[in-house]
Amino acid sequence: MKTLDDLLGEGVSGRRVLVRADLNVPFDKNAPAKGEGAVISDDGRARAVLPTLIALRDAGARVIVMSHLGRPKGEPDPKFTLRPVATRLAELLASSVVFADDTVGPEATQAVAELNDGQVLLLENLRFNKGETSKDDAERGAFADELAKFADFYVDDAFGAVHRKHASVFDVPARLPHYAGGLVLKEVEVLKKVSESPEQPYVVVLGGSKVSDKLAVIQALLPKVDKLLVGGGMCFTFLKAQGHEVGKSLLEDEMVSVCADLLAQADGRIVLPVDVVAATEFSADATHDVVDASAIPADRLGLDIGPRSTSLFAEAIAGAKTVFWNGPMGVFELAPFAAGTRGVAEAITKIDGFSVVGGGDSAAAVRTLGLDETAFGHISTGGGASLEYLEGKTLPGVAALEK
């Protein structure tokens, strides 16, 4: 696999370099504006790709950045414009960023043509175009053709999107000389280490809302881990499988028997919460109490793990030499339900070993809760991508770079 350093060595001054970044940043859900005036709540993903952009810019390349944002449906949708991200990127780069109001249309074409050496251009959201996410190879290919004609070289530094077989990730590299950026290289190196030779004891902490999203990774990890701690919305399907009623909590009924099988297979290594913070509704102002996990009232929903569970999880984490954590323990964005995620995160920062925070929401939680980022071994920019890596799946974006 060729790398950004190889490209820089070949010389890029005056050359057009198309960089796939993952600028799919979260926005402040409480801020009034969506789209153009939206407020970025965590710019970690933008900061993570800066070294690549700066290296190319400073080497005199004409840097064309492309990314998706959210999940628009293949046509322009102002709620998902990348414009606020262009503004933030310019601040972070301390240099101007040209923004094109379309992705491959007349605006983008003109902006590419007018780009100066050492200038950075951000194209509008890739997913405003059907071809980006199409399952049809020809449709994706046609869109990739249009993107590829903008540039001489392609660099992928969008680790968060390497698990997507999308035009900008999978098809463009087949059309241009292609290179892996430093972020992609670093992320893959860390995940390889964690999945091939984790130092024991190895503790995995999983949260987030859906068991169905995590099923494959649980199955892949169970044989390798000493303990698998389960919190977040997904824990209620496991609690139900243990025979508890979960009130109005998130529940995937069709997954209950699968969870029961996993619990049987795990032989005590899957650890569930023993108490939860149960609220009357999904709101920061809702009445809420700590209740036993076996006694969730019928009219309540669990929005965080409780303090005894947090201690139990922290104890399991304390002895670990390797920890992988993906998914918040509760609705950390709402202050009354942040303690579980905070407690678990703090326990992870204290281990005498190597910790990896896998991805989007948990990485954002670390930063929005004001925890010290440097206390973790590695904070990944890719939630889905890191899980798929640990599942042992081939990541289309990485495979495309290897070809």
Give the residue numbers annotated as catalytic, written as ranges: 45, 210, 360, 384
Using N-to-C axis directions, what is the helix angle for 339-349 and 360-368, rounded to 10°?
Answer: 90
**CB closer to ligand 3PG, 64 vs 161:** 161
Contact 39, 99 (CB under 8 A): no
Instruction: Give the phi and the psi of residue 110 in degrees, each rounded to 5.
Output: -70, -40
Binding track, positions 378-397, relative to Mg ion; x by CB under 5 A: -----xx-------------
Q: Which of 384, 391, 393, 399 binds ligand 3PG (CB under 6 A)?
A: 384
In the complex, minimum distance from the CB of residue 383 to Mg ion, in angstroms, rounded to a whole number: 5
Sequence-ordered list of residues with C-beta below 8 angstroms from that of 322, at least 6 positions apart, any chain? 194, 198, 199, 200, 201, 202, 203, 353, 354, 355
Contact 237, 255 (CB under 8 A): yes
- What's the rounded Cα separation, in Å, for the pair 238 and 255? 9
Question: Which of ligand 3PG, Mg ion, none does 368 bind, CB closer than 5 to 8 A by kind?
Answer: none
Q: Of 160-168, 246-254, 257-265, 295-303, which part binds ligand 3PG (CB under 6 A)? A: 160-168
Question: Which of Mg ion, ligand 3PG, none does 164 bind, CB closer than 5 to 8 A by kind?
Answer: ligand 3PG
Q: Where are the beta strands (DSSP E) in 3-75?
A: 16-20, 62-66
Q: Which of 181, 328, 383, 397 binds ligand 3PG (CB under 6 A)?
A: 383
Considering only residues 232 to 291 of the shown chain, the ones binding ligand 3PG according to CB under 6 A are: none
Q: Amino acid letter at 247?
A: G
Instruction: Count CB atoms within 10 A of the CB of residue 121.
Output: 24
CA 44 to each of CA 40, 143, 348, 359, 377: distance values in angstroms, whole numbers, following the listed order: 10, 28, 19, 11, 16
Contact 204, 221 (CB under 8 A): yes
In the numeric block, which tokens belong to residue 59? 């080497």
Considering only residues 326 to 365 of the shown chain, the ones binding ligand 3PG according to CB under 6 A are: 360
Q: Which of 44, 160, 306, 328 binds ligand 3PG (CB under 6 A)?
A: 160
Nearest to 260 by CA among 241, 244, 246: 241
**CB closer to ligand 3PG, 173 vs 306:** 173
Site residue total, ligand 3PG (CB under 6 A): 9
Q: Is 164 in the site for ligand 3PG (CB under 6 A)?
A: yes
Count H helices, E strands: the chain?
16, 15
Q: Of 73-81, 269-277, 280-288, 376-384, which part binds Mg ion (CB under 5 A)? A: 376-384
Question: Which of ligand 3PG, Mg ion, none does 192 bind, CB closer than 5 to 8 A by kind?
Answer: none
Q: Which of 16, 22, 181, 203 binds ligand 3PG (CB under 6 A)?
A: 22
In the complex, minimum distance from the CB of residue 384 to Mg ion, in angstroms, rounded to a whole number: 5
- What's the rounded Cα separation, in Å, for the pair 59 and 74? 34
**CB closer to Mg ion, 141 vs 360:** 360
**Measured distance between the N- and C-terminal CA atoms of the chain, rounded to whole angstroms:** 7
Q: Which residues pair with 378 in a beta bridge?
A: 356
**CB closer to ligand 3PG, 15 vs 20:** 20
Q: Of 78-86, 94-102, 108-116, 158-166, which part binds ligand 3PG (CB under 6 A)? A: 158-166
**CB closer to ligand 3PG, 353 vs 383:** 383
Question: Which of Mg ion, ligand 3PG, none does 160 bind, CB closer than 5 to 8 A by kind?
Answer: ligand 3PG
In the complex, minimum distance from the CB of residue 45 to ligand 3PG, in angstroms, rounded to a whole number: 8
- What's the rounded Cα separation, in Å, for the pair 253 and 281? 20
Nearest to 291 by CA among 253, 332, 239, 254: 239
Nearest to 130 by CA among 117, 148, 143: 143
Q: Which residues pair with 279 in a beta bridge?
A: 288, 301
Q: Of 53-61, 157-165, 233-241, 260-268, which part binds ligand 3PG (CB under 6 A)? A: 157-165
Binding track, positions 333-372, relative to Mg ion; x by CB under 5 A: ---------------------------x------------
Q: Is 161 in the site for ligand 3PG (CB under 6 A)?
A: yes
Site residue total, Mg ion (CB under 5 A): 3
Q: H-helix or E-strand containing 282?
A: none
In the numeric block, which tokens belong to residue 7? 């490209």
Binding site for Mg ion (CB under 5 A): 360, 383-384
Binding site for ligand 3PG (CB under 6 A): 22, 24, 71, 160-161, 164, 360, 383-384
